Amino acid sequence: METLRHVVLLVHLVGFALLFGAWAVEAVNRRYKVTRLMSYGLLIAGVAGLALAAPWGISYDMNYVKIGVKLVVLLAIGALLGIGSARQRRNGSVPPALFWSIGVLTLVNAGIAVLWR
């Protein structure tokens, strides 16, 4: 059970890596664009995160406030990706503030995961 939880955590981290990596590629190329890979990463991180939010395969209490905050941040990133792709279809790119918010909020969620004990 513990091993399975670690596998799900690995999937969760792959989702994070895809989302942040896809965003970083656009950022270093100075393109204010949202891509499908960002949405796939968010979906993978979200589904695996929800599976990890249930207390199985662990012997300690979970911090549900922290998990709730992470869920809210994930929904905010999802909304930005949705708004971004609609704007992109119309204008060819997304507003810089929206683009940077996606990367910052992704890092914020990783920071909450690692630093909030």
Q: Which residues bind ligand HEM (CB under 6 A)?
A: 5, 9, 12-13, 16, 19, 45-46, 49-50, 52-53, 58, 67, 70-71, 74, 77, 106, 109-110, 113-114
| Residue 100 DSSP SS3 | helix
Nearer CB in complex with ligand HEM: 66/91: 66
Q: How many other C-beta atoms are found inside a 10 Å radius of the C-beta of residue 13?
A: 15
Q: How far is the CB of 86 from ligand HEM (least distance, A)?
A: 20
Q: What is the DSSP letter of 92?
A: S
State the minimum distance, in angstroms, from the CB of residue 80 to ligand HEM.
11
Q: Please state the closest distance from residue 93 (CB atom) to ligand HEM, in A.
A: 22
Structural contact between residues 71 and 61, judged by C-beta atoms closer than 8 angstroms: no
Residues 6 or more apart from 5 whose CB is under 8 A from it? 52, 56, 57, 58
Q: For residues 5 and 87, which CB has a smaller minimum distance to ligand HEM in the complex?
A: 5
